[in-house]
Amino acid sequence: MTNQNVGFKLLAAAFITFIFTAPILWMVLSAFKTINDIYAIPPVWIPDFTYLDNFKLLLSENWEFLLNSVIVTLGATALCMIFALPAAFGLVNFRFRGQEFLADWILSTRMMPPIAAAVPIFIVFNTLGMLDTLPALILVYAGFNLPFAVWVSMSFFRNIPKEVIEAARVEGCTWFQTFRLVALPLAKSGIATVATFVFIFAWNELLLSLFLTSREAKTFPVVISSFSTVTKTYWELISAATIIQILPPVIFTLLMQRHIVSGLTMGAVKN
């Protein structure tokens, strides 16, 4: 490859990257502007980064909803994994009648759009007196992610050589010990991948939260959406809030990156 060629490709890559990141960059800049600066013409390109009033105002009024989001997301991710991992392990390793049917059936529940279940779920939680509570959201998010988590985990457990599982059993392990001491450590990358996806889903979910919460259990995405009102859109607050919103998934993904990359490619070729 000639140098000219490399240069052209770099330029093209930079341009495409710019197109994808421009809205986010603009949003980051807006978060440090007053509403007047945002609408100013000519635009204020570089704001005063010491201007933090947007963040201060946002967090002072909404910190509890941010906390709700953290609790719901971590809770849903943990709950989902606690149920999905043993289920996936069992579906891969146990031989029983209807095994494949059960796996397909679990997947099929994913085919329904979540919003189709919103009204029934609303009625159920209303009856149980659980509307606008964190446990309700945790249950719903974990539940909606279970089929996906089970299926993806299954593919990772399937990648563990059958003999390794059998060796553990001959060596004296119960099924649970086999799961905990052998299968889990070997499926680590896969588990990190699944957990990341569930985390991002739960963290970003808006529709069900809008439906099932009013005040107490409101999550952060609902807060962001509330800044766009019929009469006015608070762009400076939306920008600041969105930065806060995208930070955890970015950090979580960076932490898990090494595992995710090996997780996504694992099993792609026979080793």
Partner 1 sequence: MGEIVLKDLRKSFGEVSIIKNINIHIEDGEFVVFVGPSGCGKSTLLRMISGLESVTSGQVIIDGADATHTKPSARGLAMVFQSYALFPHISVRDNIGFGLKIAGLPKEEIAAKVGAASKILGLDKLLDRKPRELSGGQMQRVAIGRAIVRDPNAFLFDEPLSNLDAALRVQMRIELIRLHGDLKTTMIYVTHDQVEAMTMADRIVVLQGGHVEQFATPIELYDRPVNKFVAGFIGSPKMNFLTAKPGAAGSIQIEGGPAIASPGIRPDQMTPTMTVGIRPEHLAYSHAQGDLKGKIVVEEQLGSDAFLYVEVPGIGMLTVRAVGERNYHGGEDIWLTLPPERCHVFDDKDLRIDPALHARAA
Rule CB under 8 A: which residues touch partner 1? 161, 163-164, 166-174, 177, 181-182, 185-186
CB of 97 to partner 1, least distance (A): 12
CB of 183 to partner 1, least distance (A): 11
CB of 165 to partner 1, least distance (A): 9
Instruction: Give 23 or 100: the residue with its C-beta nearer to partner 1.
Output: 100
Instruction: Give 1 or 163: the residue with its C-beta nearer to partner 1.
Output: 163
- Torsion sign (Cα): 240, 76, 262, 182: positive
What are the Cα distances from residue 130, in Å, to 187, 210, 222?
Answer: 35, 15, 18
Distance in angstroms (rounded) separating the CA atoms of residues 155 and 57 = 46
- Torsion sign (Cα): 205, 264, 25, 69: positive
Instruction: Give 173 or 200: the residue with its C-beta nearer to partner 1.
Output: 173
Q: Which helix H or strand E contains 168, and what residues bound it?
A: helix 162-170
CB of 92 to partner 1, least distance (A): 15
Report whether 142 contacts 208 (CB < 8 A).
no
Instruction: Give 95 or 215: the residue with its C-beta nearer to partner 1.
Output: 95
Instruction: Give 110 or 169: the residue with its C-beta nearer to partner 1.
Output: 169
Half-sphere exposure (Cβ direction) of 154: Cα atoms closer than 13 Å? 20
CB of 93 to partner 1, least distance (A): 11
Q: Which residues pair with 233 in a beta bridge?
A: 228
